[in-house]
Structure 1
Amino acid sequence: MDIEIRPATENDLQAIVNMLADDALGAQRESPDDLTPYRTAFARCAADPHQHLVVAVQGEQVVGTLQLTIIPGLSRKGAARSLIEGVRIHADVRGSGLGGRLIAWAVDTSRDEGCQLVQLTSDATRTEAHRFYERLGFTASHVGFKKQL
């Protein structure tokens, strides 16, 4: 599979949002028909050097995406860590190994950025995703909490 992983552009937003909305959870949270809030969020990400929003492109089609955030910190002797979020693979290429390639890109980039730890979160209902991350060497190590604002 000939895939290019590159920084996302504003022109990629529709494809990214479509992938974010392409499951039961995403369908409840995302609004692919109105890109206005996504454009605002994209501009914030693009202006922040700690944000890496990337897409995987096959030919002319965006077939995958993820966001990698580099987080400086004091804990762990001042270690930086990274957070992987918004991992999505287009339905047409799921099972092709692209997800593993995107995660490998994120791990390599984290290492290049001096991170000592890579972490990610996954909704408790996404059990297939949990198995995928465990196969890639991630361990379920924490309990997460959220508060809607």
Structure 2
Amino acid sequence: MSKRTISWAAALRELKADRAVRCSVREERLRTTAGLRGAPALAMSVWRGRSGRRYVVVVQPLDSLDLVAEHAAVILAVARDEHGQASVAAARACEDGDPGFLGWLAACAALGARELHAYRLAESKSERAEVAADLGGPTAHSAAGVA
């Protein structure tokens, strides 16, 4: 039997580096059923933020103008490449009736976004800002950066 010495400090550094690589913002697609008891299926997806947290979102077309008319949400403007791989073009923490939403939407279209992904489970303004920061990918623009 051989005795092997493990450098715990080196092993922990390796694990942290691996986690940092794995925790880039990315979409993890969901499969939904065609309908539940006659109701049409919602187009849904899941995003994993830099923190490793998962966020279930509802997918809508880019021209959903009334998306934040009545309910606050974190909105992701999403572009897809030719292989269907999604990337966040911009992220915005929106309040009810956000007055800057339409201008932001136009700027997102110019960046190549074709879909809006809405996360509505954040209850407070600060929580929405936190989620938007977690999901705003390395190339994503903030709410203030794209207006």
What TM-score comes out, normalization by structure 2 length? 0.28
Q: Which has the higher contact order (CA 8 A, sep 6+)?
A: 2
More helix by share: 1
